[in-house]
Amino acid sequence: MNKSALHEVATALGAPGKGILAADESTPTITKRLAAIGVESTPATNNAYRDLLFTTPGFEQYISGVILFEETLRQSTVEGGVPYPEHLSKLGVVPGIKVDKGAKPLAGCPGDKVTEGLDGLRDRFAAYYELGARFAKWRAVISIEGEAVPSTTGLRANAHALARYAALAQEAGLVPICEPEVLMDGEHSIERSGEVTEAAITELYAALREQKVFLEGTVLKPNMVVSGYDGAGRAGVDEVAAATLACLKRCVPAAVPSIVFLSGGQTEVEATVHLDRINEMKGDDAPWNLSFSFGRALQQTALATWGGDDAKIDAAKAAFLHRARCSGLATLGDYSEAVEAEWKPGS
Ligand code: 13P
């Protein structure tokens, strides 16, 4: 294992001012996203959409890495036919790959899911490295339902799978992004969200240690600690930032270089405002880069602006660049309403 190369990539992914574009929607998810704009998902339309994002002039100022779905890892730019891993690397953007096979119900634990995909992963990693991927993502899905879900069994099963994946990734020379996503669907309080997030991350680091994972060569991708989306009296921005920072300080070792938040079901602006406040409030006792690995919060407006219309590609690129810039500024605590207002849909 080349520890210094892993540490270098793990640090670069969260470099100040930059973060990750999660463009690794699985086939069912990209089908849903494209259907929402009236486009049928095929390998060609998926490629056209991803090409729009990856050929946006200047996006590399704000984007450190891109997570790809396996189909995209093997595809190429529309003009010039340059394989995406090569195209991205040339821009200084690290190509990554989603490797999990999705979450399935966990036997014996109603309401809990466990993520599959470990079988054959060593061979898949060798192929992905060969194709140019230098980091990977595995997502565990944790629901909150009353007091019983998630169960400790569910948290441990997911932590174990994440740690087995992380060890295999490092063996193959890829930085593992570990994503224990606590879903925010439901009416739960921000306190319950914090309690479950802390338990999930604590189990994760116990398992990573057990599986002898080199923490300096890993990245954590957590949810922000917010109130359940359907609850009344949801917590405000300061409360979200404080609860998220408190949670991370309790359970993420200082050896971890970068923490990159997912956006979940937050709007683009909500996710950006929260990330900005987290960075404003982080203080000297938060030793990590605190950045983003957004999917929807970088793509929503761009996708809607494109709408499958070639004439709208440039406008969609402008929408994506705006979100990337706003998110990049939020990693520095430099985002503002004035920056947000510098671009409007349709401009
Ligand atoms: P969202 O930011 O849309 O939640 O996607 C991030 C991601 O990669 C989820 O696995």
Task: Please indicate whether residue 180, judged by its CB atom, sits closer than 6 Å to ligand 1.
Answer: no
Tell me the whole-structure pTM to 2 decimals. Answer: 0.98
Residue in the block written with tokens 């338990």 = 199
Q: Tell me: the pLDDT tens digits for 131-162?
A: 999 999 999 999 999 999 999 999 999 999 99
Active site residue 179: yes
Structure tokens given for 120: 């054959």
Structure confidence at residue 347 (pLDDT): 65
Across the chain, the runs of DSSP E, i.e. the strands, are 19-23, 63-68, 94-98, 103-105, 113-115, 135-142, 175-182, 219-220, 258-261, 289-294
The DSSP secondary structure of 220-259, one letter per residue, reads E-PPP----TT-SS---HHHHHHHHHHHHHHHS-TT--EE
Q: How far is the CA of 25 from the centre of ligand 1 (A)?
A: 8
Q: Give me the tens of pLDDT residue by residue for the chain, a chain 347 residues long.
A: 899 999 999 999 999 999 999 999 999 999 999 999 999 999 999 999 999 999 999 999 999 999 999 999 999 999 999 999 999 999 999 999 999 999 999 999 999 999 999 999 999 999 999 999 999 999 999 999 999 999 999 999 999 999 999 999 999 999 999 999 999 999 999 999 999 999 999 999 999 999 999 999 999 999 999 999 999 999 999 999 999 999 999 999 999 999 999 999 999 999 999 999 999 999 999 999 999 999 999 999 999 999 999 999 999 999 999 999 999 999 999 999 999 999 987 66
* Residue 178: half-sphere exposure toward Cβ, Cα within 13 Å: 33
Nearest CA to ligand 1 atom 10: 139
Structure confidence at residue 342 (pLDDT): 96
CB contact at 8 A, 156 and 113: no
Q: How far is the CA of 8 from the centre of ligand 1 (A)?
A: 23
Residue tagged active-site, from 221, 268, 282, 317: 221
Structure tokens given for 167: 């060890």
- Asked whether the bond before 150 is cis by omega within 30 degrees of 0, the reply is yes
Task: Please indicate whether residue 22, judged by its CB atom, sits closer than 6 Å to ligand 1.
Answer: yes
Task: Please indicate whether residue 263, judged by its CB atom, sits closer than 6 Å to ligand 1.
Answer: yes
